[in-house]
Amino acid sequence: MAGEDTIAALLVIWDEGPSSARWEELLPTLLQLVDQFQQSADDDTRATTAMRITDLLRTADPELHRRLLQTRKALRDGQASSRHGTRGVPPASEITATWSEIRAQEVATHGDQITVGNLTNATGVAVGPNAQANVHQHYHEPRYTRYTDISCPRRVWVEERVTLTVALTMQQRAESVVKQAVAVHEGKVKVRLTAPGFEFLSSPEQTILIEADEDSPPVVFHLQPRKVGRHEIYIEFWQRGNRIATAPVPIEVLAVQPVFEPALIPPVVLNPWMAGVRAPDLTLTVARDPAGRMQFTLAGDGVVLFSTEHTLTFEPRTFIEQLYAELGLLQRGHDSTGRRRSGRRLLDAEQVERRIRTLGHLLWDRLIPADLKLFYGHERARWRVANEADRRWSLLVYSNEADIPWELMRPYDEGTDRWEEDFWCRTFYFARWLLRRPDVLKCFAPLPQIRMGALAAIAPTCFPELQSAPAEHALLRDLIARHHLADRSPLRATEPALIALLEQGGFDWMHVITHGDFFAESALHSSAIGLEDQQWLASSAITGPRIRGMLSDQRPSFVLNACHVGREAPSISGAAGWATQLIGSGAGMLVAPLWSVNDERATQFSQIFYDALLHPEQPASVAEAIWRAREAIRQDDDPTWLAYSLFAHPNATVSIQPQ
């Protein structure tokens, strides 16, 4: 229902309007809003227009607003009649006929006294006899506490339809499989399902309307399992083009009909402030289920542009390990091919650059489905024109594949209209985010604004070969002094000191300058950082109730300027690298290189990154700051500039909070 009940209720109480002291002021705007509703064929636009009417009456005439809500509820419940006497919410044809009568009467009565503004692009309304529409004059977005009301089975029969319902209610429902209180803005929340291994029998995307005094009507999804086995469905909540929360739902498909059991779904962590940040221009969600099926969904402005499913015919781990090994050799200028009787052959800058470009092509070849490649080729011209004419577009990749270097994806087409693009991290303001940790179901949304008030610099002094590390440490001390930040740096960067800091918290930004290494075959960890006394802290240490609880509660950000620490590898629990351990437990941002980096250029990267991020007049978003830092240190014969991975919302900004 896209606001028809609100319009029907307004028409029922229309004759009560003249009793309001402000009716003459309200009338022009109400006329135009209802006209806009009637002329629009888009459900989202109609729902938004109905919300503006409700908000206008709440602000201008609380009593008329109360009558509107009361009448709307009675119409929904079938306990009231429309203006023409039909019971309940009338059909669209009756609403149109009734509105034509009312509008003709008002124009005949008031004539030239009615002056309306232009509401075409407004997000608010204006009132008054000579008022023009004002974008924010009266329209506001209060937040309301709502409770998730989700119904879904835990086990289903392969031959039966799966029904999943989602609503946000004013009171907690005992029968809901998730009983989570959330703060949400008034307005539309889109609910979208990502379900590899299922066929949709209904639309995969539906809209919940959050109103001040009403439960949201439930949205109902129907799916058909394709095969027996363990599957995962992602319930995504979107507002204004941003994903504000994700709830993963594990479902087991059986060969025999089971007894109904409700699904086990973790608390849904909604981030209503996400609606206040500009949404990424493009969002690519890549969901891979235990059976290896990958569902790719590309969205823009909150609307799904393309969706497809793809099953890999090869084991991605081997391919990714080979790719990283090649990058490690190229960073040193070595060639991995040919006979090596007397050591590896050194490559010149042009050869290194060509091999790095080839790795980007291989990622495109092997990971992106053919139909998505075709769609990308059709749309890329529009995206490129937007980049050149206005501003660089942003791209956010959601994935539970933390080990895949999506930054290096390099699209191309070999057909008659032969074309090639640059790496995604250079074409777009690029960022990525984890759907969830592989060993827990709880999901976190990226932060729309990142705090910087208390900074911890971790800079061990026992690695003299890192000749640029002192300069980078000095950069951090200067940031602390210049922006009056609290200094949470330990006196010595030892393992006990860092563990204590991670358990206690009290910082919102940590920058690490040290050695890093990657252990692909280790069952305990996939990455480690060097600390004082030649000790090493493994990524597997980021565990337990204190550390994970601190990350979830305080959501600090991390810059790990150490080789390899952005890499991941499968472990007993799925993956245990720094990205999964930190972002998957609630950290607000992570910047880390995926392979070996040049010491001097790593320090330059940090300098440019902070200069752009904290510019006093035009601070950059985190993705733009990373993009500028890449460009500043780019060298064709050194892939350091490509190594850095950003886990964040691309349009997030940093808020300095002096202590």
- pLDDT per position as a tens digit, 331-369: 777 777 755 555 566 888 888 888 889 999 999 999 999
Kindly tell me the burial class for residue 608, based on how many C-beta atoms sit within 10 Å of its own C-beta (0-12, 13-18, 19 or more).
middle
One domain for residues 459 and 589 = yes
Count structural domains, the chain.
Answer: 4
Q: Is residue 123 part of a domain?
A: no
pLDDT score of 520:
57
Minimum mean pLDDT range among 152-161, 331-340, 477-486, 576-585? 331-340
Instruction: With H, G, I as helix, E, B as strand and everything else as coil, classify residue 631.
Output: helix
Q: Does 15 share its domain with 104? A: yes
Say whether 16 sits in a helix, a strand or coil: helix
Residue 157 has pLDDT above 80, yes or no: yes
Task: Count CA atoms within 13 Å of residue 48 on its CB side.
Answer: 20
pLDDT attached to residue 221: 95
Whether the per-residue pLDDT at 609 is higher than 60: the answer is yes
Res 204 pLDDT > 50:
yes
Tell me if the pTM is above 0.75: no
Q: Which residue has the higher pLDDT, 140 or 465?
A: 465
Kindly report, residue by residue over 108-128, the tens digit of the pLDDT. Answer: 777 655 554 444 433 333 433
pLDDT at 590: 94
Q: Find all residues with CB under 8 Å of 590, minimum gap 6, and list them.
A: 557, 558, 559, 560, 566, 578, 579, 582, 583, 645, 646, 647, 648
Instruction: Specify whether 524 is located in the same domain as 398.
Output: no
Residues β-bridged to residue 309 = 295
CATH code, domain with 592: 3.40.50.1460
Say how far apart CA 140 and CA 121 lie, in whole Å: 16
Instruction: Give CA–CA dist 530/538, Å, rounded.
Output: 9
- Whether residue 38 has pLDDT greater than 50: yes
pLDDT score recorded for residue 383: 74
Q: Which of 429, 448, 472 is the last residue of a domain?
A: 429
Same domain? For 568 and 650 the reply is yes
Judge whether residue 317 has pLDDT over 80: no
Q: What pLDDT score does 98 carry?
A: 87
Percentages helix, strand, coil for the chain, rounded to the nearest 5? 35, 25, 40
- 432-454 pLDDT, tens digit per residue, is 999 887 777 778 889 889 999 99
User: 448 is in which domain, residue-wise?
Assistant: 438-656
Q: Do the domain assignments include residue 286?
A: no
What was the pLDDT predicted at 325? 80
The pLDDT value recorded for residue 387 is 58
Domain end residue (candidates: 256, 276, 296): 276
* Of 343-352, 407-416, 469-478, minimum mean pLDDT range: 343-352
pLDDT for position 287 = 85
User: Mean pLDDT over all residues of the chain?
Assistant: 82
Within this chain, do residues 492 and 623 fall inside the same structural domain, yes or no?
yes
Asked if 496 and 425 sit in the same domain, the reply is no
Residue 181 pLDDT grade (very low, low, confident, very high; cuts 50, 70, 90): low
Is residue 293 in some structural domain?
A: no
Based on the fold, state whether residues 556 and 632 are members of the same structural domain: yes
Q: Are strands 303-311 and 293-300 parallel, antiparallel or unpaired?
A: antiparallel
pLDDT at residue 64 is higher than 80: yes
pLDDT digits (tens, 9 = 90+) for 496-528: 999 999 999 999 999 999 887 766 555 555 678
Tell me whether residue 372 is in a domain: yes
In the predicted model, what is the mean pLDDT of residues 68-92?
Answer: 84
Q: What is the pLDDT of residue 282?
A: 93
What pLDDT is attached to residue 422? 92
Would 212 be classed as within a structural domain?
A: yes
pLDDT of residue 133 exceeding 60:
no
Q: Is it the case that residue 213 has pLDDT exceeding 80?
A: no
408 and 482 assigned to the same domain: no
- The confidence band for 650, taking pLDDT boundaries of 50, 70 and 90, is very high
Note the pLDDT of residue 177.
67
89 and 180 within one domain: no
**The domain spanning residue 222 has which CATH number?**
2.60.40.10
For 398-409, what is each residue's pLDDT tens digit? 988 778 889 999
233 by Cβ neighbours in 10 Å (0-12 / 13-18 / 19+) ranks as: buried
> Where does the pLDDT of residue 468 fall: very low under 50, low under 70, confident under 90, or very high at 90 and above?
confident
Which of residues 244, 276, 308 is at a domain's end? 276
Cβ pair 190, 204 in contact under 8 A: no
* C-alpha to C-alpha distance for 265 and 269, rounded to whole angstroms: 12
Predicted pLDDT of residue 127: 38
Strands 429-434 and 394-399, bridge-based pairing: parallel
Using alpha carbons, select from 251, 243, 262, 10 the residue that is nearest to residue 150. Answer: 262
Q: What is the structure's pLDDT at 23?
A: 87
Residue 438's pLDDT is 76
Residue 271 and residue 210 share a domain: yes
Same domain for 548 and 450, yes or no, is: yes
**Amino acid, res. 148:** T
Asked whether residue 118 is domain-assigned, the answer is no
Integer Cα distance of 548 and 119 in angstroms: 48
Please give the average per-residue pLDDT across 213-218, as a whole number.
82
Percent of the chain with pLDDT strictly greater than 90:
32
What pLDDT sits at residue 274? 67
Looking at residue 564, its pLDDT comes to 53
Contact (Cβ atoms closer than 8 angstroms) between residue 281 and residue 396: no
Q: What is the pLDDT, as a whole number, of residue 294?
A: 84
Residue 136 lies in a domain: no
In a shared domain, residues 87 and 166 = no
The torsion angles phi and psi of 156, rounded to 5 degrees, stand at -135, 160
Give the pLDDT confidence score for residue 384 in this predicted structure.
Answer: 67
At residue 425, the pLDDT reads: 94
Give residue 529's pLDDT band: very low, low, confident or very high (50, 70, 90): confident
Asked whether residue 393 carries a pLDDT value surpassing 60, the answer given is: yes
Mean pLDDT is lowest, of 62-66, 131-135, 233-237, for 131-135
pLDDT, position 503:
95
Burial of 196 (0-12, 13-18, 19+ CB in 10 A): buried
Does residue 637 surpass a pLDDT of 70? yes
Evaluate whether residue 500 is within a structural domain: yes
In this prediction, residue 128 carries a pLDDT of 39
